[in-house]
Amino acid sequence: MSYIPFILLSAPEYIVVLVFIMTFFRIKISGFYPQIFFIAIMLGNVSYATRADEILSKFSPIFQVVMFAILIWMLFRVHIFYSTIITTIGYASYALIQVLLVFIFTETGLISMQEVTEKLSFESYIVPLCSMVLMLLLTWLIKRYDFAIDWIPNTHRAKVVMRGENNVFLVLTLLTLAVLIVLYYVLVIGLAIYYISALLTIGCLIFVLLYLSKKRDELDD
């Protein structure tokens, strides 16, 4: 895909994911619009650059999540440990929505996998556009029914002790990132049996991360 169309499609996706993250974890959005726009453009370029190389493209999700976490840490002053957790939850949630849509659309015959991955085709825009709409709807529901949590410290100086629950968060985060790589790889090469397994696995991991986040929030109240 050409650079300009790619960025024009990719940047809004990152904005949607970032708005979801900030809404769910009660991170202040107002006053940070330049930072949000900057992160979206930066991540769009990271995605474009990594996908342009055949070898790097296999690890594109990891590069994006790492850069995402670093930028949130630097621009929103969230400790890098917590930044990595919330970034993984947000990115993986969006990936889950997007891959579910691909599965539904291809299984029902609405579009083919070739059309989804085809460059500059109308069909290639359907999945990301629908994914953004669903992610925004999820974000609205979280805000509307007050499902947000606020246990994430709003300072990069927060002390992180790597034991107990924090170790569980770390392991689950790393597992989620590993499954993201597998999911992306099998999606590209079209191995349906592993595709479904990876999809179910990442869904379970996201659920556990969200459950632990909610429990931690209740303990901190």
The three-state (H, E, C) secondary structure of 147-181, written as one string: CCCCCCCCCCCCCCCCCCHHHHHHHHHHHHHHHHH
pLDDT tens for each residue of the chain, 221 residues long: 678 888 888 999 999 999 999 999 988 888 889 999 999 999 999 988 887 777 777 778 888 999 999 999 999 988 899 999 999 999 999 999 988 888 888 778 777 666 666 655 666 778 889 999 999 999 999 999 888 988 888 766 777 777 788 889 889 999 988 888 777 776 666 555 666 777 788 889 899 998 888 888 877 66
Q: How far apart are CA 92 and CA 62, in angstroms?
A: 11
Query: What confidence score (pLDDT) does residue 190 get?
Result: 58
Per-residue b or e along 73-83, where b marks 16 or more CB atoms closer than 10 Å to that residue's CB:
bebbebbebbb
Q: Is the pTM for the entire model greater than 0.85?
A: yes
Give the end-to-end CA distance of the chain in Å, rounded to a whole number. Answer: 48
17 and 90 Cβ atoms separated by less than 8 Å = yes
Looking up tokens 């691909």, which residue turns up? 102
Look up residue 205 and give its amino acid: L
Q: How far apart are CA 162 and CA 151, in angstroms?
A: 16
CA of residue 156 relative to chain centroid, distance: 21
